[in-house]
Amino acid sequence: MKSSIHTATRDQIYDMLREFQGEFSREQVAFFRKCIYSAGKLWAGFIDGELVCFWGLMPPSLLSDKAYLWLYTTPALEGNEFYFIRKSQIAVKLALEEYAEIIGHVTNVKAIRWIKWVGGEFSDLEGPVIPFRIRRK
């Protein structure tokens, strides 16, 4: 299997979102549109040419040295996570060249594992979500 991660444009991610739009509620689509619009950087991940995820980093301002990470994984990632780990680590390392800290929240076990694999540290539970930080070394 061949995995790859590429930077993406807003239009490319909007197109990817349209492919999966039927799986989301109206509120989720609005959330993703806001995330895509606000993102300073966007990426898409593929395994054997099939889309497995897309994500972005949203800095609170143009001068900020931290950014909020959001991520969507498609069903095609299921069972193929191992092939994607090294590419994810490289992408996060490159993002940390621009931002000293990446922050976010996770809600499920697979997301927790992925954040650990890319160097994340977790804080105490905040309601239904667990906050995390990935810091530049």
Q: Encode the chain (137 residues) as per-residue pLDDT tens digits.
A: 788 888 999 999 988 888 877 778 888 888 888 989 989 889 999 988 888 888 899 998 888 899 999 888 888 888 888 777 888 888 899 999 999 999 999 887 778 888 998 999 998 877 888 999 999 98
For 3-135, the fitting CATH number among 3.30.43.10, 3.40.630.30, 3.90.1170.50, 3.40.50.1000 is: 3.40.630.30
Supply the Cα-derived Rg of the chain in whole angstroms: 14
pLDDT of residue 101: 96
pLDDT of residue 3: 84
pLDDT of residue 66: 94
The backbone region for 60, taken as left when phi is positive above 0, alpha when psi lies in -120 to 50, beta otherwise, is alpha
Q: Please check whether residue 96 is in contact with residue 129, taking contact to mean a CB–CB distance below 8 angstroms.
A: no
Q: What is the pTM of this model?
A: 0.82
Q: How far apart are CA 121 and CA 58, in angstroms?
A: 19
Sequence spans of domains, the chain: 3-135
Distant-in-sequence, close-in-space partners of 28: CB < 8 Å, separation ≥ 6: none
> Torsion over CA of 76, 81, 84 and 86, rounded to 10 degrees?
180
Q: Please check whether residue 3 is in contact with residue 90, taking contact to mean a CB–CB distance below 8 angstroms.
A: no
